[in-house]
C-alpha cells in the first residue's frame, strides 16, 4: 500500500524519532508517543493538529494524524482524495453510532479515515491490522 503522503512508514525504528517524541501513554501491547517535531504541518491539504506514533519493541506499528478539519463535509472530501490516492474505493463503516470510518486494506497494513461525530474530529490512521483497536 503506497502511503507516501503520510510522513512516517510502518516498520521504522524508534531511534529515528527519539528526539521528537514525548511519552504519552504506555499501552499493553505498545507505547504511544506524541510527535513534537514541526516539520509536518499539513497532510492532504489539511492542517495537522497533532501526531501520535505507536511503537512495539521500538518498531513503528501505528501512526495517528489528528486533523484540525472538523466538519462532516471534510470527511467526505478527504475520503474522496484518499480513494484517488489508493486507486480504489474504501470500505465505509459506522461504529458505535458516532464514528464514521473509511478503510483501505493493504497486504500488511490498513489506512483508516475516522470521523468522530460526537467530538467533531477527523483522524487518519496508518496501522498494522492488529493494532487498529488499541
Cell of 127: 496501522
| pLDDT attached to residue 28 | 85
Cell of 120: 467533531
pTM for this entry: 0.92
Pick the residue with more confidence: 55 or 38? Answer: 55
Q: What angle do CA 26, 27, 31 make, to 5 degrees?
A: 60
Sign for the CA dihedral angle at 17, 5, 80, 69 comes to: positive
* Mean residue pLDDT across the chain: 91
pLDDT band at 86 (very low <50, low <70, confident <90, very high): very high
Residue with cell 521500538: 58
Amino acid at each position: 500500500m503506497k502511503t507516501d503522503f503520510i510522513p512516517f512508514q510502518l516498520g521504522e525504528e524508534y531511534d529515528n524519532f527519539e528526539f521528537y517524541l514525548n511519552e504519552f501513554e504506555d499501552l499493553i501491547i505498545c507505547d504511544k508517543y506524541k510527535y513534537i517535531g514541526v516539520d509536518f504541518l499539513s497532510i492532504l491539504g489539511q492542517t495537522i493538529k497533532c501526531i501520535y506514533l505507536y511503537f512495539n519493541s521500538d518498531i513503528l506499528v501505528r501512526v495517528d494524524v489528528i486533523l484540525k478539519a472538523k466538519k462532516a463535509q471534510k470527511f467526505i472530501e478527504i475520503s474522496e482524495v484518499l480513494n484517488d490516492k489508493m486507486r480504489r474505493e474504501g470500505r465505509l463503516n459506522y461504529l458505535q453510532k458516532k464514528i464514521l470510518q473509511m478503510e483501505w486494506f493493504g497486504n500488511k497494513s490498513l489506512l483508516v479515515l475516522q470521523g468522530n461525530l460526537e467530538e467533531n474530529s477527523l483522524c487518519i490512521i496508518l496501522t498494522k491490522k492488529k493494532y487498529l483497536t488499541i
